[in-house]
Amino acid sequence: MNRTYRNLHLGISAAVVITAGLIYGTNPEKFLPYIFNFSVEELELKNIFRAIMGVYLGFATYWIIGIIKAKYWQGATISNIVFMGGLALGRFISTMLDGISIQWLIALILELFMMVWGIYNLSKSNFDN
């Protein structure tokens, strides 16, 4: 499989997740009410969103390392599949319990797409183990 193509999956994922993480965590009391129409005033809620930012930036960093260093590509791709699949599962559960949100339905579809793309890339790559 073409290395550029397989790395594109991780690169797109990293760019989107870095952006989302920064939106969630850099200034949650300003950005989130504007985007999601709810206020973030409590210290604990700010802490949760900044922790989410940290998780997002951590995973995106690993995916970038997987792009730069081929020996980490497989692990980075597996973590991406689990990350995107976990997000999609949570959104699916929310859709079943809470109802359909068009905004998050689009995110669910994109997360499922990224998960399947990662599985495809992993299945087409040759590894010794």
Neighbour-count burial of 56, counting CB atoms closer than 10 A to its CB (0-12 exposed, 13-18 middle, 19+ buried): buried
Please give the single-letter amino acid code of residue 77. T
Query: pLDDT at position 129, please?
Result: 43
Q: How many Cα neighbours within 13 Å face the side chain of 57?
A: 12
Query: pLDDT at position 82, please?
Result: 98
Question: Which stretches of the chain drop beneath a pLDDT of 50?
Answer: 128-129
The span from the CA of 114 to the CA of 19, in Å, is 16
Query: pLDDT at position 73, please?
Result: 97
The span from the CA of 40 to the CA of 29, in Å, is 5
What's the N-to-C CA distance of the chain in angstroms? Answer: 17
Tell how many helices (H) and how many strands (E) occur in the chain: 5, 0
Q: What is the pTM of this model?
A: 0.90
* Residue 69: φ, ψ to 5°: -115, 110
Please give the single-letter amino acid code of residue 99. G
The span from the CA of 54 to the CA of 24, in Å, is 10
Question: DSSP state, 70?
Answer: G
Query: pLDDT at position 127, please?
Result: 62
